[in-house]
Amino acid sequence: MNLDWRTLLLRRLLSVLAISLLLGLISGEYAWSLVAGLGLYLYWNLRQLVRLYLWVKHAGPDELPPESSGLWGEVFDAIYHLQRRNQQARGRLQAVIDRVQQSTAALKDAVIMLDAQGNLEWWNQAAETLLGLKSPQDGGQPITNLVRHPRFHEYFAQNHYAEPLELVSPVSERIRLQFQVTLYGNGQHLMLVRDVTRVHQLEQMRKDFVANVSHELRTPLTVLSGYLETLLDHADSLEARWRRPLQQMQQQSLRMQNLLSDLLMLASLEARDYPADNRHVPVKALLASIRSDALALSAGQHVIELEADTGLALKGSELELRSAFSNLVFNAVKYTPAGGTIRMRWWRDEQGAHLAVSDNGPGIEAKHLPRLTERFYRVDASRAANTGGTGLGLAIVKHVLIHHRANLSIDSTPGQGSTFTCHFSSAQLSQAAQDPED
């Protein structure tokens, strides 16, 4: 190719020189003929350049390049082929984009693209059905203006979206939606919204069933344990061989009553939507009262210490928090052998407020920790049976903490003890706590 254009150039220059010499021979003016020949050649080149410029600037995508010979012809053809290749590549890319847009538009799940500020950039048909977005008027609007639920605002503002969020649809109370946001590029958001109404209904049926069964079992159980209590009140007049079975029946009926009340507590926690009550809860006083209950449970077999920041109070439901905290403290008492020490600590730092309940009991192996808050999950069935636990305590703790925008962390070393810590965000602190003068 290089050789080609060099030869071409040389040939062209030689022909200009030859014609100029021929003219010089005829006219006898060699110098002028040479100037005239080179001038003509320059003019011809400039003309080709202008034709190229006009073609590049004004020609339509399919218009052929102007006809030319020699090197200029090659240049025109090369640019033309380059342009065709670009057009084909662009066409293929457009086809891919069209296919992606068509398939996304056909999805039953809503796909919404938002810029870094959360303004709508693009959405599919399902987003209009599920969220009521209107095309094109809603383009550029902040998503928080269109989905106005306070929980969505809170979820969207947090900027890290590990868990999806479930909410009712802004279009209809009967539709339940699951929102999942993913960050990409320069802080842009990709939001997927699924209709989970059916799963939600099934889940609701399960919860209602458990709640109804627990409720229905309560009355017969109360009657049974009432009779057992009366019988045991007259234990002296009973035959000795009946006393032990009756005592065991009473113990088991008490266990069933605890189980039912824990199941009902869980059902009512699940039925109530977040956030929980927003009352002022003075945590130190609450912990002091839990401590005296725990001392009674321990019957003097444990040392129970309390260290709490007096001014630090929470917003929430006192009843729920009492239930969660006492579950942690009573567990520590139940699982720590006599002579052990249990420590409650309530303090605040930059991350928020924390309640830690530590013991120097048997500890829990690391493999059990992730599953500990599951209902009826037990590390050691025989150990749990001795303590009379229901297996629902930590599940209740987890739900109460979710209601209070908090979470639970568990640290444990087998043979040395365990620490259960509840972490509350600063937003959950009661005003009185944030202002030390109060």
Residues that bind ligand ADP (CB under 6 A): 327, 331-332, 335, 359, 361-362, 364, 372, 378-380, 384, 389-394, 418
Per DSSP, the three-state class of 376 is: coil
- Based on CB atoms, which residue is closest to ligand ADP, 130 or 396? 396
Separate counts of helices (H) and strands (E) for the chain: 13, 12
CA dist., res. 292 & res. 281, Å (int): 18
CA dist., res. 268 & res. 125, Å (int): 37
Per DSSP, the three-state class of 113 is: strand
CA dist., res. 400 & res. 326, Å (int): 12
Tokens of 96: 């891919």
Q: Min. distance of Cβ 290 from ligand ADP in angstroms?
A: 14
CA dist., res. 107 & res. 112, Å (int): 12
Buried b (16+ CB within 10 A) or exposed e, 341-368: ebbbbbebeeeebbbbbbbbbbbbeeee
Q: Min. distance of Cβ 376 from ligand ADP in angstroms?
A: 8
Per DSSP, the three-state class of 344 is: strand
Q: Min. distance of Cβ 348 from ligand ADP in angstroms?
A: 24
- Based on CB atoms, which residue is closest to ligand ADP, 227 or 377? 377
Residue reference for tokens 């202008």:
50
- Cα dihedral value 270, 272, 274, 277, nearest 10: -130
Residue 204: its H or E element: helix 197-233
Q: Min. distance of Cβ 381 from ligand ADP in angstroms?
A: 8
Q: Min. distance of Cβ 204 from ligand ADP in angstroms?
A: 24
- Based on CB atoms, which residue is closest to ligand ADP, 248 or 386? 386
Q: Which amino acid is at 244?
A: R
Q: Min. distance of Cβ 259 from ligand ADP in angstroms?
A: 9
- Based on CB atoms, which residue is closest to ligand ADP, 242 or 376? 376
Residue reference for tokens 């029946």:
249
CA dist., res. 46 & res. 269, Å (int): 86
- Based on CB atoms, which residue is closest to ligand ADP, 189 or 399? 399
* Distance from chain centroid for Cα 21: 84
- Based on CB atoms, which residue is closest to ligand ADP, 37 or 393? 393
- Based on CB atoms, which residue is closest to ligand ADP, 118 or 363? 363
- Based on CB atoms, which residue is closest to ligand ADP, 226 or 370? 370
Q: Min. distance of Cβ 336 from ligand ADP in angstroms?
A: 7
The answer to whether the CB of 133 falls within 8 A of the CB of 146 is: yes
Q: Min. distance of Cβ 428 from ligand ADP in angstroms?
A: 23
* Distance from chain centroid for Cα 71: 62
* Distance from chain centroid for Cα 208: 27
* CA-wise closest residue to 323 among 298, 354, 286, 353: 286
Q: Min. distance of Cβ 365 from ligand ADP in angstroms?
A: 10
- Based on CB atoms, which residue is closest to ligand ADP, 149 or 375? 375
H-only helix segments in 66-117: 70-106
Q: Min. distance of Cβ 309 from ligand ADP in angstroms?
A: 23
- Based on CB atoms, which residue is closest to ligand ADP, 181 or 394? 394
